[in-house]
Amino acid sequence: MSVVVLVVIVIISLAWARRRRRRRRKRAIGPELPTTVAPPQTLNVVPVWEIEAPTMESIIQDLAKKKPVRFKAQQLRSFTTNYSTRLGSGGFGIVYKGQFPNGVKIAVKVLNRKSNNRGAEEQFMAEVSTIGRTYHINLVRLYGFCHDNFMSALVYEYMENRSLDKHLFSDTQAIEREKLHEIAIGIAKGIAYLHEECQPRVIHYDIKPGNVLLDANFSPKVADFGLAKLCNRDDTHDSPEGYRGTPGYSAPEFLLKNYPITDKCDVYSFGMLLFEIVGRRRNTKVGADESLDWFPKQVWNEFEKGKLGEMALLSCGIKENNREEAERMAMVALWCVQELPHARPPMSVVVKMLEGEVEVKPPPRPFNYLYSDYTSSEETNTYLYKDTTSIMANSKIQMASSS
């Protein structure tokens, strides 16, 4: 009897121990997973032409932030409806209006490659290599390009209100003074981004009203990077071959022998543009008697006499409530066009001065080469200026051209 009881106790103990081991194993592994597998979810593939415009626009913006898209010639022909709407033309090609399949408007610049036009090829490479790697609200966006054996074209965002010069020099002045001040700040921010935030740095070389485009809200975007060049940040200056830019806006160092070219040449050009925004006129006018009316020199003369505010009210037709803004813009312009490049402020400082964040101190006299008492203020450049004074005296004022 005792043997039977002992066997029963052993069997119960073994069963209890086995059950206990199973419970420990479950706690270590976790709960048992269901053996059934859920069916795969079906993906709704939407063709690109059925994507809503806002979604497509965000895709295009993402592409523009990264790199331009390479289009085929037949795509551009379709986008422009066989190049039916012409927006304008220039030395390097013709610009046509078009739109993507989702309705986003574009401008297609078809470059002239006839007769081995090296300039068109250089412009194409300059645009793609510079603006193709930048993204800023005040720079025109390059959506893409086309390049094959037969054509080269650049595809930009469409600017409803064309270029700034069409409004500045028009008899019907639709843009309010307050908006012009905002436009000036926007242009300055775009150039500051090129100089100080891009890697490598970008020098535009051709800042002028004709190269500033306005969108539907009259927000400015710097455009036309055909003369632009990438520069390493470690390089203190560039060595371009020959004259660059547009006469009337280009910095004087382009006319000086062996003078280093830096991003300060864009600062000078912006100063000249700023004078035209203040005056709502071209800087250079030739009278019936061939007398020369040069607005930047007028601004300096009135500033020197302490009558800059009076000139703004009388000659420029500026209202009293816009007087302070106009005076500040004129003084900033005088700083930007200083003869010595290092005396010109960097564009980030120009932005702060225009926005009123920093005090604009009285600028030194610019255009020293136009005065009979001209002497160089820097001993290190004495030889340079003596050697080139005659050149500056002969050219004196460059006639501006917005072409």
Residue 147, strand partner residues: 152
Is the CB of residue 87 less than 8 Å from the CB of residue 160?
no
Residue 107, strand partner residues: 97, 156
DSSP state of 210: G
Dist. CA 232–CA 200, nearest whole Å: 5
Q: Is 361 annotated as a binding residue?
A: no
Task: Judge whether 206 counts as a catalytic residue.
Answer: yes
Structure token digits, residue 53 = 């415009």
Instruction: Please report the sign of the dihedral spanned by the C-alpha atoms of residue 218, residue 224, residue 225, residue 228.
Output: negative
- 3-state SS assignment for residue 289: coil
DSSP state of 139: B
Instruction: Please report the sign of the dihedral spanned by the C-alpha atoms of residue 136, residue 138, residue 139, residue 140.
Output: positive
Considering the candidates 165, 206, 224, 263, report the single residue annotated as catalytic.
206
Is the CB of residue 158 less than 8 Å from the CB of residue 97?
yes
* Tokens 């064309």 -> residue: 162
> Euclidean distance between the first and final Cα of the chain, in Å?
121
User: In angstroms, what CA-CA distances link 175 with 125, 161, 188, 277, 357?
Assistant: 35, 11, 18, 11, 24
Q: At what angle do helices 295-304 and 264-279 cross, to 10 degrees?
A: 80
Binding-site positions for ATP read 109
Catalytic residue positions, numbered: 206
Binding-site positions read 109
